[in-house]
Amino acid sequence: AWDDPHVNWQDTRFALFRTTWDYFDKFPAFQQWLATTAAKTTLINPIALIQWNMDKHYLRDLAAKGITVPETYYIETGDTRTLEAAVASTGWQKLVLKPAVSGAGRHTYLFDAGQTAPLESTYRSLIAQESMLLQLYQEQITTKGEVALMMMGGEYTHAVLKKAKAGDFRVQDDFGGTVHEYTPDASLIAFGKKVLAACPQLPLYARVDIIWNNHDQPTLSELELIEPELWLRNNPSAADLLADAITDCYFNEYM
């Protein structure tokens, strides 16, 4: 585990991130661990990508490079407005509230603009400590679901379709979501490659999560570069492609 104090990272040449699924619950400690460990070993994906991808402000960076993302309103730590006032600034009627640093549906809420009162207390405690996002709700998440494209060395390998349970909008299995086999068309794969091309550097592995927005356009909901579930069991050869990408990046000089 990343937070095991008995691990000697100095003796580890490379550390491939796979299951640091609690980092957002221990974010200050994780940031410190990243800084100290990166000085001792090589992190995969690279630390610069990890630090960029940890915070959902990366969506703003990608949008600036032409990637379609959900309409998002960023609220920074310490903002003194009520949730009602922040919502009024957007003009949206149905919204999702979530932390900028989060995963597994942590503190993710769907609500109507006129129904902020039940969330005000939770919102106040959160915004005092961390940045938050308001996003316009994308209705087709409950009908079309969310497609996850697995990408190794910048190339598409396989995909799954994640669907929320009836009556919910969250596709995570923690909330009853289900996973199904899926074959994307060429345009969706091209969208995934466009997302990776817009990153600060090419990730060695990535999961590109795509939904369809309210205009029926493919839209990046999340880009997972730290600890994504990659469903390698659905396509074991994808692990070989990841190994090849790592070899090409770090070991070719020795071959």
Q: Do 249 and 185 share a structural domain?
A: yes
Boundary residue ending a domain (137, 158, 175): 137
Q: Do 244 and 152 share a structural domain?
A: yes
Q: Do 156 and 105 share a structural domain?
A: no
pLDDT in tens, 43-77: 999 999 999 999 999 999 999 999 999 999 999 99
Instruction: Give how many domains the chain has, as a whole number.
Output: 2
Closest CA to 195 of 141, 149, 135: 149
Please indicate, yes or no, whether the overall pTM of this predicted structure exceeds 0.85: yes
Q: Do 181 and 78 share a structural domain?
A: no
Residue 62 included in any domain: no
pLDDT band per the 50, 70, 90 thresholds, residue 88? very high
Question: Contact, 97 vs 111, CB < 8 A?
Answer: yes
pLDDT in tens, 167-214: 667 666 666 678 999 999 999 999 999 999 999 999 999 999 999 999
Give mean pLDDT, residues 230-240.
95
Residue 178 belongs to domain with CATH number: 3.30.470.20
Boundary residue ending a domain (137, 159, 188): 137
User: Domain range holding 168?
Assistant: 140-253
Q: Do 158 and 96 share a structural domain?
A: no
Q: Do 182 and 117 share a structural domain?
A: no
Q: Do 249 and 151 share a structural domain?
A: yes
Q: Do 165 and 90 share a structural domain?
A: no
Q: Do 248 and 160 share a structural domain?
A: yes
Question: Contact, 163 vs 180, CB < 8 A?
Answer: yes
Measured from the Cβ of residue 25, the count of other Cβ atoms closer than 10 Å reads: 13
- Partners of 160 in beta bridges: 148, 181
Residue 67 included in any domain: no
Residue 4 included in any domain: no
Q: Do 163 and 77 share a structural domain?
A: no
Boundary residue ending a domain (137, 153, 174): 137
Q: Do 196 and 148 share a structural domain?
A: yes
Poorest-pLDDT segment among 73-77, 216-220, 226-230? 226-230
Residue 249 included in any domain: yes
Q: What residue has token string 């200050």? A: 28
pLDDT in tens, 2-32: 889 899 999 999 999 888 888 888 889 999 9
Question: Contact, 123 vs 134, CB < 8 A?
Answer: no
The predicted structure's pLDDT at residue 164: 81
| Average pLDDT taken over every residue of the chain | 93
Residue 2 included in any domain: no
Residue 103 belongs to domain with CATH number: 3.30.1490
pLDDT in tens, 92-103: 999 999 999 987
Residue 44 included in any domain: no
Question: Contact, 184 vs 199, CB < 8 A?
Answer: no
Q: Please tell me the distance from the alpha carbon of residue 126 to that of residue 97, in angstroms, as a whole number.
A: 11
Tell which phi-psi region holds residue 231, choosing left (phi > 0), alpha (psi between -120 and 50) or beta.
Answer: left
Measured from the Cβ of residue 106, the count of other Cβ atoms closer than 10 Å reads: 13
Q: Do 229 and 171 share a structural domain?
A: yes
Would you say residue 235 has pLDDT above 80? yes
The predicted structure's pLDDT at residue 143: 92
Would you say residue 255 has pLDDT above 60? no
Residue 8 included in any domain: no
Question: Contact, 123 vs 98, CB < 8 A?
Answer: no
Q: Please tell me the distance from the alpha carbon of residue 43 to that of residue 47, in angstroms, as a whole number.
A: 6
Residue 173 included in any domain: yes
Poorest-pLDDT segment among 100-104, 109-113, 218-222? 100-104
